[in-house]
Homo-oligomer: A and B are copies of this chain.
């Protein structure tokens, strides 16, 4: 197993199915079938495959602001040592929803979601900046989220 890393070569029908579910994750297989020219069972089969392969997943996404998380930020980290170990530790923090190893003047970038400035300060000082190997951090507080898409890959 583990087709999680590369692989996949989606045909147009599968892409069309994904597009349908990107518009509405609860659309019925029958309706999708009509839209893409396939039987209900075939759509079901393909969705199962795509999901199993990790190509796609159908989930609820929420707006943090509407749920009481009024402070979001991107944090750039400069590190020494193994960045993967640090990334793992960041990833294990509940307030951290996004971690990526990067090339450039930061080694890691992490997005955090906090309820308040207080929480952000605490998170930074008591958790992130205390991690072994974190040399320095730079915080980019979000002023306004302008665009957020979940539909890569089928344009």
Q: Which of A64-92 contact B (CB under 8 A)?
A: 64-69, 72-74, 76, 84, 87-88, 90-91
| Contact assessment for A152 and B26 in the assembled complex, using a CB-CB cutoff below 8 Å | no
Query: In the complex, A21→B66 CA distance in Å?
Result: 17
Q: Which of A120-147 contact B (CB under 8 A)?
A: 138-147
A-side interface mostly: mixed
> For the complex, what is the distance from the CA of A59 to the CA of B155, rounded to whole Å?
16
The minimal Cβ–Cβ distance linking A46 to chain B, given in whole angstroms, is 12
Is there contact, CB below 8 Å, between A6 and B56? no
CA–CA, A8 and B56, complex, Å: 29
Residues of A within 8 A of B (CB): 3-8, 10, 18, 21-26, 53-69, 72-74, 76, 84, 87-88, 90-91, 94, 96-106, 109, 113, 138-155
Give 16 A-B pairs besides A55-B66, A87-B147, A103-B141 with Cβ atoms closer than 8 angstroms. Answer: A5-B65, A6-B66, A8-B68, A53-B66, A54-B66, A57-B61, A58-B60, A59-B59, A59-B61, A67-B154, A74-B102, A84-B146, A87-B144, A103-B140, A104-B138, A106-B140
